[in-house]
Amino acid sequence: MTLPEHGPDTSGVLRELESGSSSARLRAALALGTVPDPRSVGPLIERCAIEPEFLVRDMLTWALTRHASSTTVPRLVAELRSERPQARSQALHTLSKIGDGRAWPALTRALLTDADDEVARSAWRAAVVLVPEGEEGELAAVLSTQLGRGGLETRRSLSRALIALGDVVVPALSAATADTDAEPGVREHAMATERLLRDPDAGFAFAIEDAKRIMVLGPAGQEGGG
């Protein structure tokens, strides 16, 4: 299925986005990205909000990146106010792929601390792509408030985002590590992230286990300690 390069009618392909067949939806998204048409931006974003299949969502995002950011970014930013978590998450994911800095003001603290883990993770990834030069420290301070949150994958995502900001995160991590009033999970996560900042090849699961040993045994419990 392809859109005619100069044809005016995209309705047939757009209808395929609503097909009960995931392969048909995948083909439709591919077609809409292959021959970009501003009329398809709204339906692509609407489909992102409800599409159950990861591969189709990925193709929808790719199709949106093929359109002019002047058309897609305002629509995606508006989607960040949706009450549907998947709509917010996919809009953030797509904005991170487009990489247009005009979306930065929309990455609010509320999104970076969203109660839905998938939304928050998408916001963290988008933020490290879009953050303007000079504002990395402020972003690191906000992200550090999420240390200790969620399960292993959520914590891994946060650590990756923090590490992507570079050495600017060190003060926030050091403060979290030294805070004896913090929950143990917060300190462990901060220690693990510090370890990965120094040694990116250590692996997150290993860094977490190393942090747990330090929490119990003190510095002597660190890998290589006495």
Whether the Cβ atoms of residue 162 and residue 174 lie closer than 8 Å to each other: no
CB atoms within 10 A of CB 167: 10
Domain membership of residue 115 (yes or no) is no
Q: Would you say residue 31 lies in a domain?
A: no
Q: With cut-offs at 50, 70 and 90, classify the pLDDT of residue 219.
A: low
Within a 13 Å sphere around the CA of 106, how many CA atoms are in the beta-carbon half?
A: 21
Degrees (nearest 5) of the Cα angle 68, 92, 136?
100
Question: Does 194 fall in a domain?
Answer: yes
Q: Considering the domain boundaries, does residue 141 fall inside one? A: yes
Domain assignment present for 191: yes
Nearest residue to 160 (alpha-carbon basis) of 207, 217, 113, 91: 207
pLDDT of residue 218: 64
The alpha-helical segments, DSSP class H, found in the chain are 11-16, 22-34, 41-48, 54-65, 69-79, 85-98, 109-112, 117-130, 136-144, 152-164, 170-178, 184-198, 204-217
- pLDDT band for 8, please (50, 70, 90 cuts): very low
Question: What value does the mean pLDDT take over residues 163-189?
Answer: 92
- State the average pLDDT for the chain: 91
Whether residue 181 is contained in a domain is answered as: yes
Q: What is the pLDDT of residue 204?
A: 83
Provide the domain count of the chain.
1
The residue segments making up the domain with residue 173 are 131-221
Q: Identify the top-confidence range among 25-34, 178-187, 199-208, 214-223.
A: 25-34
pTM above 0.85, yes or no: yes
Select the more confidently predicted residue: 199 or 146.
146
Whose structure tokens read 């997150």? 204
User: DSSP 3-state assignment of 203?
Assistant: coil
203 band by pLDDT with thresholds 50, 70 and 90: confident
Average pLDDT of the residues in 70-85: 98
pLDDT of residue 9: 58
pLDDT score of 222: 54
Q: What is the pLDDT of residue 224?
A: 47
From residue 74, how far is each of 33, 69, 102, 120, 201 by CA, in Å?
18, 8, 9, 20, 38
